[in-house]
Amino acid sequence: MYYPRRRTEPMVYETPGFVSFFRTATPIKEIADLHVGSRPGSRKTSDRIEDLRAIPWVFSWSLARIMLPGWFGFGTAVDAFLAHRGTPGMELLREMYRDWSFFRTLLSNMDMVLFKSDIHIASRYAELVSDSHLREDVFGRIGREMQRAIEHLLVITGQKELLESNPSLARSFRNRVPYIDPLNHLQVEALRRYRSGSIDDRIKHAILLTINGIAAGLRNSG
């Protein structure tokens, strides 16, 4: 899928409706309602992002297969760097990847979370957002920034595809995908029914089971 290049605007705090998108397109509300985890999802009774604890913030994006905290902004940052430095800028980034272990580890982690992300499955979660304009705006930005991040990551690392440098991890995750993906689709439907007012305990149980199953399959869900 091709996403035209454009400058990414600040999103989390500056986009009207972002909190609504986040709380609808991820299972964050259910993580809190069903008491998943040892502590409350937020530090205080509030819907504000800044009051949310770090683990549920990462966990909810992971369950929706977006993994946003692990890569968002990287593509735009590289665009800005290259606009300032030009071609020598990319050579510098490649040199940093080759010679600086911190930068190499940073990009290695990003490589892994982008490989585990799935924009198509994420679009199923985005469909839970009833406001079509909000959905298209926020999810469109996410998709474009993901494409930018992948393109720059591959150029800097010299890979032809994600996780090319770690074939054993890529193979391990591909073997788990046939089990994880159906759980994501089941979770979307369970969330839809739960939010429509279903009081069937089986729906709650299904959400809990899919949360556990997806987390176990991803192995780095917060």
**DSSP output for 123-181:** HHHHTT---HHHHHHHHHHHHHHHHHHHHHHHHHHT-SSTTTT-HHHHHHHHHHHHHHH
Q: According to the model, what pLDDT value does residue 1 have? A: 32
Q: According to the model, what pLDDT value does residue 183 have? A: 98
Q: According to the model, what pLDDT value does residue 40 have? A: 56
Strand ranges in the chain using DSSP code E only, listed in sequence order: none
What tokens appear for 221 in the block? 């869900």
Cβ 64 vs Cβ 124: under 8 Å: no
Q: According to the model, what pLDDT value does residue 4 have? A: 38
Alpha-carbon distances of 100 from 44, 117, 150, 215, 220, rounded to whole Å: 40, 26, 20, 31, 24
pLDDT (tens, 9 = 90+) of the chain, 222 residues, equals 333 344 445 678 778 899 999 999 999 989 887 766 555 556 666 667 777 888 889 999 999 999 999 999 999 999 999 999 999 999 999 999 999 999 999 999 999 999 999 999 999 999 999 999 999 999 999 999 999 999 999 999 999 999 999 999 999 999 999 999 999 999 999 999 999 998 889 999 999 999 999 999 999 765
- How many Cβ atoms sit within 10 Å of the Cβ of residue 191? 24
Burial of 119 (0-12, 13-18, 19+ CB in 10 A): middle
Q: According to the model, what pLDDT value does residue 3 have? A: 34
Cβ 217 vs Cβ 179: under 8 Å: yes
**CA-to-CA distance for 82 and 97, rounded, in angstroms?**
16
